[in-house]
Structure 1
Amino acid sequence: MKLLALLLVLNFSVFASSHSKSNDWGQNGHRVVGKVAEQYLSKKAKRKINRLLKGQSLAVISTYADEIKSDNKYDEFKPWHYANVDFHLTYLESEPSKKGDIVTGINKCLKILKDKKASKADKVFYLKMLVHLMGDMHQPLHFGKKEDRGANDFKVKWFYNNSNMHRVWDTEMIRSYNMSYSELAANLNSLSKYQVAEIQKGSLLDWVEETRGLTKKVYNSAETNENLSYKYMYDWFSVVKSQLNKGGIRLAVMLNKVFG
């Protein structure tokens, strides 16, 4: 009985880590997106990216845009991590943010990377930003409501510990799955060539609206102060994995166009 009790406690502790700081898909989520993207890069794109990053992987540099948040000189880039759009409007129908948002941020990155006159330092910086932002763009609550700060004020409990919906989707579910980023990337659902081709279709705005459709469902997936646990993981973690997969595949689409 003592052994059984110990196993139950250990099992619960794996799922219950709840005091982490919300950090845009979490570090492992972003690393998964970078790892997946590398699998879909053309040889030419791989060579050019490898030269720019001096051998660093997309997984390693994927968290850079979060790391610079602590430096005030990068404050102008903070609005690039999200876009607040009323649910009854499309992104194009909404009033654009004067400070920029995730869509304008991604487009700026692409513009610099395509610019033959841009410095190597700028290309490295905006490549790191692009890798991160394409991950953020596939996290549904980065298109959340302005009034609750993208569901950061949508309070819930995660295995009986205080949390919020944004943190649950950024970090809690991935951490509770208890895999390293490389293990998680290796264990995403296998996709057929047809499925990959379907994910690759469309434009940035098509992908934005697809994610925003999911945003509305996530808001309706829980009640304020509800305790979320095993059932929520069962219902939604497959969606998390699908979004990570899509983020990586679509990041590779962009990088192949720029560098390939």
Structure 2
Amino acid sequence: MSSPSQPTCCSSHRGSSRLTTRGVAWLICASLPFSVRSWSQNGHERIAQIAEELLVGKHKDQIRKLLDGDLLSLANWEQTTKAKYPETEALHWHRQDPEWTCAGINTKVDAPEVMKALGLEHIGDKAGQIKCDGHAAEGGSIFCALASFFDHFAHDSLLKEYKAPKEPIEVPASLAALGKVPKSEQTPAHYLRWLVTLLGDLHQPLHWLRERDYGREAKLVYQGQEYDLLSFWEEYIPKHLPARPTGEALDRQYKDRRPAWWDKAPTELFRDWAKETAKVVCAEVYGAMENGTGSLQAPFKLEEEVFQRWLKLAQDFTTLGGERMAFVLDDILEHRRHKAAHAHGRGLFTRATHRQNKSRSRPAWATNGPIAVIVVPGLLLALRWHEQVGGGNVFRLAKTHLKV
């Protein structure tokens, strides 16, 4: 995937009225095929396969209907869409003002101290929160786009079941990057396609750090071949992922992970997941490329041990991406059920409340069983005593009463 800087480089000379050398350079740039990466088709296919497997029964059919296609068919949707509308490239990356950085990597001597003073060694604002205020996150960056697309499906009555986030998200009312996309391609089906595509991109660590142009400026050599870091992560690694987990292993892992997501609305989860992914890019990706002095080797010679670590990391993130995609899609179906019910004047018990109760309570038999063991024998003894003292057999009296 080309980074947002590529269209910008071309657009910077549009005001020139003369065909200068720089103008010719712009024309050449504008005529080149639009470079698209992100998780390559292989990466998006892996995430889609996992999500499809975890959607069960009618939910799978309902999602296909909403998408006007299945998840697997959307593996290259991002590429074809950005080729038609280059401005939408910006939606796939995190941007903030000022940008955050990995302390000690690709910085001037005093930059780590400056960034530390600003509290910007981490993603988001000084408190580490990501919100669409133009500073902690630009309104058209990946987190804000995810929140905006989900907002098209959200129903207020269901959102109220979740605790309000401590920091408001400030979901943008519109996305400027869609300005040239025709209304015929801004339908619920298209918004859902954007949502699932960006959910996949959310789990690519390099998308969260603008430093070194999201990895394009970091060079590495592996098995005698030179790559830039971004293309290596988004094209080479997805083609070499090991076999995905078995269905049984996926189901077990998904059941273990879901309870941690039950108590938060998807927009809040997007924020949590973004921060989780962003931590990895410094510690596990750039951190592995340091030469011990706080700077990067140029080019970095990628040893097999580091490659295997990255491969395992990509495997974990694509698996997690598929599981989270299935979870969010299930949540969207619940929002649609509520919208339909309210349109017909009906209310519904919320799945959020059901999940919370289920996750925090013991099964009914665990509570009622001990009660029955104590109460039932006691009740029978009381009824027998009542008969012995002359009160008569309660069951016989009830039978006689019913006959009368």
Q: Distance in 1 between matches of 2:259 and 2:80?
A: 29
- 1:83 and 2:116 correspond: no
Bigger mean CA deviation after superposition, 228-237 or 30-39:
228-237
Which structure's CA Rg is the greater one? 2
Letter in 1 for 2:214: G
Letter in 2 for 1:252: A
Q: 1:196 to 1:24 in 2, by over 3 A?
A: farther
Could you tell me which residue of structure 2 aligns to residue 219 of structure 1? Answer: 286
RMSD: 3.0
Q: Distance in 1 between matches of 2:326 and 2:254?
A: 15
Q: Distance in 1 between matches of 2:80 and 2:248?
A: 29
1:153 to 217, 227, 233: 217
Q: 1:32 to 1:211 in 2, by over 3 A?
A: same
* Gaps in structure 1 of 5+ consecutive residues: 1-20
User: SS of the counterpart of 2:214?
Assistant: coil
Letter in 1 for 2:281: T
1:23 to 26, 31, 37: 37
1:66 to 71, 79, 83: 79
Could you tell me which residue of structure 2 aligns to residue 131 of structure 1? Answer: 196
1:171 to 235, 257, 267: 235
List per-residue Cα deviations over 1:230-251 (Å, max 9, x = no partner).
3333222111110000001011
Letter in 2 for 1:185: R
Q: Contact (CA 8 Å) 1:63, 1:132: kept in 2 or not?
A: no
Could you tell me which residue of structure 2 aligns to residue 253 of structure 1? Answer: 327
1:45 CA drift (Å) = 2.8
Could you tell me which residue of structure 1 aligns to residue 146 of structure 2? Answer: 106
1:97 CA drift (Å) = 4.8
- 1:201 and 2:263 correspond: no
Q: Distance in 2 between matches of 1:46 and 1:121?
A: 23
Q: Distance in 2 between matches of 1:93 and 1:130?
A: 18
Q: Distance in 1 between matches of 2:302 and 2:271?
A: 32
Q: Distance in 2 between matches of 1:58 and 1:200?
A: 24
* Gaps in structure 2 of 5+ consecutive residues: 1-34, 102-120, 156-182, 262-268, 290-296, 335-404
Q: 1:49 to 1:150 in 2, by over 3 A?
A: same
1:51 to 56, 65, 73: 65
1:165 CA drift (Å) = 1.3
Q: 1:171 to 1:191 in 2, by over 3 A?
A: same
Q: Distance in 2 between matches of 1:49 and 1:119?
A: 20
Q: Distance in 2 between matches of 1:155 and 1:36?
A: 32
Could you tell me which residue of structure 1 aligns to residue 375 of structure 2? Answer: none
Q: 1:66 to 1:166 in 2, by over 3 A?
A: same
Q: 1:157 to 1:120 in 2, by over 3 A?
A: closer
1:187 CA drift (Å) = 6.0
Q: 1:64 to 1:228 in 2, by over 3 A?
A: same
2:249 to 190, 196, 214: 190
List per-residue Cα deviations over 1:195-220 (Å, max 9, x = no partner).
64336624111111111111112111
Bigger mean CA deviation after superposition, 236-245 or 93-102:
93-102
Q: 1:185 to 1:113 in 2, by over 3 A?
A: farther
Q: Contact (CA 8 Å) 1:81, 1:136: kept in 2 or not?
A: yes
1:124 CA drift (Å) = 1.2
1:60 CA drift (Å) = 1.6
Q: Distance in 1 between matches of 2:247 and 2:222?
A: 23
List per-residue Cα deviations over 1:25-80 (Å, max 9, x = no partner).
111101111111112224343222222344x3202213212221111xx2342111
Q: Distance in 2 between matches of 1:139 and 1:228?
A: 19
Q: Contact (CA 8 Å) 2:64, 2:71: kept in 1 or not?
A: no
Q: Distance in 2 between matches of 1:108 and 1:119?
A: 18
Q: Contact (CA 8 Å) 1:112, 1:122: kept in 2 or not?
A: no
Q: Distance in 2 between matches of 1:259 and 1:199?
A: 16
Could you tell me which residue of structure 2 aligns to residue 14 of structure 1? Answer: none
Letter in 1 for 2:152: I
List per-residue Cα deviations over 1:161-196 (Å, max 9, x = no partner).
22111112111122245x7xxxx4356993573664
1:132 CA drift (Å) = 1.1
Considering Cα pairs closer than 8 Å and 6+ residues apart, tell me whether 1 or 2 has the greater RCO.
Answer: 1
Bigger mean CA deviation after superposition, 230-239 or 22-31:
230-239
Q: 1:40 to 1:173 in 2, by over 3 A?
A: same
